């Protein structure tokens, strides 16, 4: 018969092993939940659900159907600032400047319509210009160069804004509490999740593949909640892309 002290010595390792097993099963719970929801929605072609969790579809016909998976690794969170409010202001400034420039350009064009027509015809025929028309050609050439420059600034500002905006809108969207994401600053969290997956192809055969999924989540600062107080709005994880290891 074991004495109480000896009994504790036997039970303790068993409990430790059980605890470790529980921890192992429960690790990466968040990532597991997101990926299972994603694979189930992809399999069912549930576009409504997919629109809330991803910008990259896992097409059953092209990519197959995931029958089961296990997480191999998860990279540490990479946190970077979100500057949607700043980028929105920069885009508006670029658009306003472009509009003002376009207005002045039209005024110049209206005041020199006939001369500009002569310039364009001469350029098309590759003929040199002299006198006043040569001066108009020089000025009109600058107007055209400036047009491209102003348009490029608008394009650049729009690109900066839309680099993060679509994913942020998916991450924080809530029909019951809609948020204009360009009114806030915040941060973006990115991580990669590597999985071993059993995938059934369109031809019915199953293969084992290792895939890497990129997940992003947005947090907006100073969003007024339902209680009327401002605070951090932490969004959901969004799957933005996936790649097959070795390809």
| Secondary structure in 3-state letters for 132-166 | HHHHHHHHHHHHHHHHHHHHHHHHHHHHHHHCCHH
Torsion over CA: 24, 26, 29, 33 (sign): positive
Reported pTM: 0.79
Pair 179, 123: CB distance under 8 Å? no
**What is residue 20's predicted lDDT score, i.e. its pLDDT?**
38
Pair 218, 243: CB distance under 8 Å? no
- Say what the alpha-carbon torsion angle 138, 141, 146, 148 is, to the nearest 10 degrees: -170
**What is residue 98's predicted lDDT score, i.e. its pLDDT?**
98
**What is residue 68's predicted lDDT score, i.e. its pLDDT?**
95
**Domain-by-domain residue ranges, the chain?**
4-83+185-244, 84-162
Pair 220, 244: CB distance under 8 Å? no
**What is residue 157's predicted lDDT score, i.e. its pLDDT?**
98
Round to whole Å and give the CA distance between 94 and 100.
Answer: 10
pLDDT digits (tens, 9 = 90+) for 127-141: 999 999 999 999 999
Q: Is the pLDDT reported for residue 13 higher than 80?
A: no
**What is residue 19's predicted lDDT score, i.e. its pLDDT?**
40
% of residues, the chain, pLDDT over 90: 81
């Amino acid at each position: 018969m074991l004495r109480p002290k000896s009994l504790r010595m036997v039970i303790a390792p068993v409990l430790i092993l059980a605890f470790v097993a529980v921890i192992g099963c429960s690790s990466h719970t968040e990532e597991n939940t997101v990926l299972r929801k994603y694979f189930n929605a992809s399999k069912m072609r549930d576009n409504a659900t997919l629109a809330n969790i991803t910008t990259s579809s896992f097409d059953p016909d092209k990519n197959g159907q995931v029958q089961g998976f296990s997480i191999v690794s998860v990279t540490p969170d990479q946190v970077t600032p979100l500057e949607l409010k700043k980028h929105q202001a920069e885009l508006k400034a670029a658009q306003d400047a472009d509009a003002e420039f376009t207005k002045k350009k039209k005024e110049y064009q209206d005041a020199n319509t006939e001369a500009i027509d002569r310039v364009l015809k001469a350029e098309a025929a590759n003929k040199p210009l002299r006198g006043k028309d040569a001066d108009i050609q020089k000025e009109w050439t600058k107007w055209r160069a400036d047009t491209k420059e102003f348009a490029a600034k608008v394009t650049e500002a729009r690109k900066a804004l839309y680099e993060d905006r679509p994913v942020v809108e998916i991450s924080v969207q809530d029909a019951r509490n809609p948020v204009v994401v360009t009114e806030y600053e915040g941060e973006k969290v990115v991580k990669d999740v590597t999985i071993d997956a059993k995938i059934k192809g369109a031809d019915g055969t199953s293969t084992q593949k290792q895939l890497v999924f990129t997940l992003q989540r947005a947090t907006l600062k100073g969003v007024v909640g339902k209680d009327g107080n401002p605070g951090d709005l932490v969004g959901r994880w969004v799957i933005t892309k996936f790649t097959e290891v070795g390809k």
